[in-house]
Structure 1
């Protein structure tokens, strides 16, 4: 399931971010994602079984570190691509001694394809 990219800004928990970054295979995925890739491409590049790759990608997406986008191909087939959705992560200790994480996001201008994808995501949610 492709998640709504418009809800990405502050939709994360510090605990999820830290837990995700504490996992070596998810760090390998982040290091490998220099450009948008499919789960199959990542599985091969990282030498991680495909079933495990999907779980790791779900974890990265839920922590708001990776975004999903759907590439629509001729013939009605489509594929999901994953890409990094941060430029910097900072972990801070507050005066109350609680940890917080802040995520800096890349600035993105919305393309026609992205707007269409967002529209389809909203239509699917409504049905």
Structure 2
């Protein structure tokens, strides 16, 4: 997920228009639009302002681990990825169903905490 898409996600979650967000963080709605649609890369100053306003960790915008996880979850059902893949391996060992269920439970709990942290109700 690109930075602009993440910005739009945060903004829409708070039910803010681009104009309302712009007024809150002192940036024009046009600037916010250009960032959201990928026409412009956000500056570090802009990202810092957004991070403080939405109270999200810096990693929300820069951590590729979250990006990969979001993409996998969107493209496939998490249960199909983990539970129904009988030959899922970790460090050369095929994981048992119990181990795969533990992993799924851990991921679900981690995502719940993450979404709660960024105020997204999933």
Q: Compute the TM-score of the two structures, normalised by the length of structure 2.
A: 0.28
Between structures 1 and 2, the one with greater strand share: 1
Between structures 1 and 2, the one with greater helix share: 2
Higher radius of gyration, 1 or 2: 2
